[in-house]
A and B are shown apart, each in its own frame.
Chain A
Amino acid sequence: MKILTFIIMLLCVSVVTTIAYHTIQADLVHFRKAEKYFSRKEYSRAIPYYTSLLQKNFRRPTVLYRLGESYIASGNFKNALHVYEDISKREPTNSSAQDILASIYMNLGDFEKAVEIYKSMVSSEPLNRSTRIFFARALTAQGNLDEAIQQYKIVLGETQ
């Protein structure tokens, strides 16, 4: 009888602990759920969790990135733009975020802003050929074809 009482008590403690954890650490539980959906590429299910975490000031750098990536993966470039603008403000030297921000502008047809970002990236990393090609593409889309040609030629080592 004593053993049975003991086991029931243990079960109760376990249940109470779990409930308490889910209540006190709700953000972490949401984060885990969001990560689960993200890893399964179920972006539309992950987005509400990441959004709610940000609204609750859940500060993990991953959350913003994951939210941005989820928006891009689900084709919602307008929302992705807000996220990456936010990241860009927080981490102005993060070239990876700048790069994605520029590609979002390209997708949204705002070629001037894309050109502006790529231009700044190229001047800080002149040997990064991929960035220069993206810069050339943005210039082409913008209609600045002579400058685009110049950039392609630099990539191919054909400048005089």
Chain B
Amino acid sequence: MKNTIMKYCLIPFSIFVFLNISSIVPDPAYGQEKLKGPSSISKEEIPDWQARWELARVLSYVKRYDESVAEYNKLLKEKPALYEARAEMANVLFWQGKNAEALKTLEQIPAADITGNTSVLMADLYVIQKQYEKAETLYRGYLAKHPDKHKVRLKLAQTLSWDKKYDESLAEYRTILQAFPDDIQVRRKYAFVLIWSGKHLEAAAELKKTLR
């Protein structure tokens, strides 16, 4: 009988005592590594290429373009696959008026990595070089993702008109005018494309609207 009591009482008692002791006894780690202070917010080591990239950007902000491009070139020599930096350098070259160099720089980036504003810049550069088809593809790709960017749609409409694709150009103008019916400048450009496509009566009507 005594043994049974011992068995049934001592086991839970031992567990209870153990759990209590473990919660009472201070953690030996206290006062050691836990007292070191901030740990999770320690400063990351910044590599040289990162600092150089930041320097190249800041130099471009103060319009020290030559120095900026020199830093981008050093950076890209070390990190040739840093396409974001390559696109930034193309922008700097564009601001310098070095359009051919800017385009050459962008052409070194794989097509899949040409996105967003970089694709618009590349398209703009193709337009300057009168490579309208290439520009059209890029503008259309951008507009597929950003259909509300009417400034880019206007660029596409103009490019199509210069490439003598009048009907496609007019369609783009109509989309823009639907969103901005009071934009006189866009309507005038639309009217000119109507004239070039031989739709003189329609053009006259549109031009009249701009004179009210």
Contacts and interface: CB of A to CB of B under 8 A. Distances in A.
Nearest to A39: B34
A97 B39 CA distance: 11
A127 interface: no
- B13, B35, B37, B39 pick with most chain A CB within 10 angstroms: B37
Contacts of A7: 5, 9-10, 13
A14 B20 contact: yes
A11 B16 contact: yes
Interface residues of A, number: 42
Given A61-B37, A140-B58, A152-B54, A134 B43 contact: yes
A146 B40 CA distance: 33
A119 interface: no
Contact of A4 (B5, B24, B34): B5
Interface of A: 3-4, 7, 10-11, 14, 17-18, 21, 28, 32, 35, 60-62, 65, 68-69, 72-73, 94, 96-97, 99-100, 103, 129-131, 133-134, 136-137, 140, 145-146, 148-149, 152-153, 155-156
Interface of B: 2, 5-6, 9-10, 13, 16-17, 20, 23-24, 26-27, 30, 34-35, 37-46, 48, 50-52, 54-55, 58-59, 61-62, 64
